[in-house]
Structure 1
Amino acid sequence: MTTLQQIELQCPVCETRFRSQAVVSTNSFGGKRTDFHERAAGTQPLPYLVHTCNRCGYTGAERDFTEEAEVTPILREHVWSELAPVIGKAPITGSEKYEAAAKVAEWQGLEPRHVADLLLRAAWCCVDEGDIEAERFFRRKAAWAFEKALESWDGVAREERAVLTYLVGELWRRVGDAKSARDWFDKVPAEIVEQATQQWVLDAARQQRDCPREWFG
């Protein structure tokens, strides 16, 4: 079960003080889906792990609202021109919060891996929201961002490359692009650095390539 608490934040862009809900504790059930989406009993925690300013739309994790948060003129301009006009027109969903957080991360010049993680979480939120079209949209964007991260050896730690290569394949499989999915699953063996601890990645890639199933054990 997920437990929430009220927190007070100050937006580093517009200096507005506002209240948000944050996760105090949560516990999962039923394992993880094959794209690593872990669900909790009761309220899902994902939408409460990022926060959105109710005036300008700036979005990020709790640490992004501290005094250490860097706000450049370019970031401020993007927030006011792209996020502020839509804030307050309707209750913001978890997927919309992660989409905004991904935009902020891009405007801050953060690594593609970080942006990809946010887009993946947007897709996970869409599953909980029952929005299939948006789920496919965010899965594609996450796959492209992970691919970009994998293009650079500095963008992903060597020991994480096999897992992310598998994940890209699984994202393409889930949006119905079987060829791209197979191509990425076939790349997994070349990314293994330690057979003993990464055998599960190989097994997952073969499973999802040859006879897909929904849940990990």
Structure 2
Amino acid sequence: MGEPSSAYVVCPVCGHVFRATYASTYVTVGREADLCPMIPGRPSDGARLIRNAVTMCPVCSFAAGEAFDDLDLTFDERYGIEERLKEDGLLKVFRKGQPPWLGFHAAEVCGKERSLRSRELGDLCLRASWVCRKEKERPFESTFQLRALRHFMRSLQEDDLIGRELSVTTYLVGELNRRLGNHREALNWYVNAGRTTEGDPRVAWLDRLIDRQSKLAREQAA
């Protein structure tokens, strides 16, 4: 398991200085079918390590997957982010309780204002769903799976994905559909994902995953 470390960071929106904790690496023993890392130890420990992929300001709730020092926000971006964070319904309800998925939600809210690619927004929501699963928050797991699915589908239309990123994103649309109960839709997307790999040996692992999950979806659709 990765050794946690910490550093003082400055929020690029409100200027608050705080200590952020993160793990640069962690040991895995494989991945689940939606690419969630399988981390030795208690599920809550794994959730904590995944959560460290984002940093959230404890004062204004600005959050991002990038290092705060690397962000250079314009005045308009800061203002837009502040307004989005103030008006966000989930943050209003859950800011004080700080559920484990909140940082990813806040990062998605801020990412929309920062015009992040749909692929990146989908990745934030996918990671949030992983945390929810490990923390046994099933309703929110489904919520974030659906949000990730929508972002990934938009990404396939807008982001000009190529190569491995295209294949993995297409596969994830299928897998998230399957997990949400849309088994026949999932089968169509698995077929699409298989077409994008074109026998590339670098993604042979993905071909195997597509075959396995396609069989499962067919059984579930029967």
SS at match of 2:22: strand
Residue ranges of structure 1 left out of the alignment (5+ in a row): 213-217
Residue 66 of structure 1: aligned partner: 69
Instruction: Note the C-alpha offset of 1:157.
Output: 2.4
1:4 equivalent to 2:10? Answer no
Q: How does 1:1-217 map to 2 (within 5 A)?
A: 1-29=1-29, 31-42=30-41, 43-44=45-46, 45-63=49-67, 65-66=68-69, 68-71=71-74, 72=77, 73-82=79-88, 85-86=92-93, 88-90=95-97, 92-152=98-158, 154=160, 156-211=161-216
Give the length in aligned residue pairs: 208
Instruction: Note the C-alpha offset of 1:122.
Output: 0.5
191-200 vs 110-119, which moves further: 191-200
Amino acid of the residue matched to residue 100 of structure 2?
G
CA distance in 2, matches of 1:177, 1:105: 28
Greater fraction of residues in strand: 1
128-137 vs 187-196, which moves further: 187-196
From the superposition, tell whether residues 153 and 6 of structure 1 become closer, same or farther in structure 2 (CA, over 3 Å).
Answer: closer
Query: TM-score by structure 1 length?
Result: 0.86
Asked if the contact 2:12–2:71 (Cα under 8 Å) also holds between the matched residues in 1, the reply is: no
From the superposition, tell whether residues 142 and 196 of structure 1 become closer, same or farther in structure 2 (CA, over 3 Å).
Answer: same
CA distance in 2, matches of 1:151, 1:159: 16
Asked if the contact 1:47–1:93 (Cα under 8 Å) also holds between the matched residues in 2, the reply is: no
Amino acid of the residue matched to residue 21 of structure 2?
Q
Instruction: Note the C-alpha offset of 1:67.
Output: 6.0
Residue 215 of structure 1: aligned partner: none
CA distance in 2, matches of 1:193, 1:179: 23
Query: TM-score by structure 2 length?
Result: 0.84
Instruction: Note the C-alpha offset of 1:144.
Output: 1.1
Residue-by-residue CA offset, 1:67-101 (whole Å, 9 max, x unaligned): 633141322322333387457521x2331111111
Over the matched positions of the two proteins, sequence identity in percent amounts to 25
Amino acid of the residue matched to residue 35 of structure 1?
D
Asked if the contact 1:56–1:84 (Cα under 8 Å) also holds between the matched residues in 2, the reply is: no
Greater fraction of residues in helix: 2
CA RMSD of aligned residues (A): 2.1
Instruction: Note the C-alpha offset of 1:19.
Output: 1.7
Residue ranges of structure 2 left out of the alignment (5+ in a row): 218-222
CA distance in 2, matches of 1:134, 1:120: 11
Asked if the contact 1:7–1:20 (Cα under 8 Å) also holds between the matched residues in 2, the reply is: yes
Amino acid of the residue matched to residue 98 of structure 1?
F
Amino acid of the residue matched to residue 150 of structure 2?
W
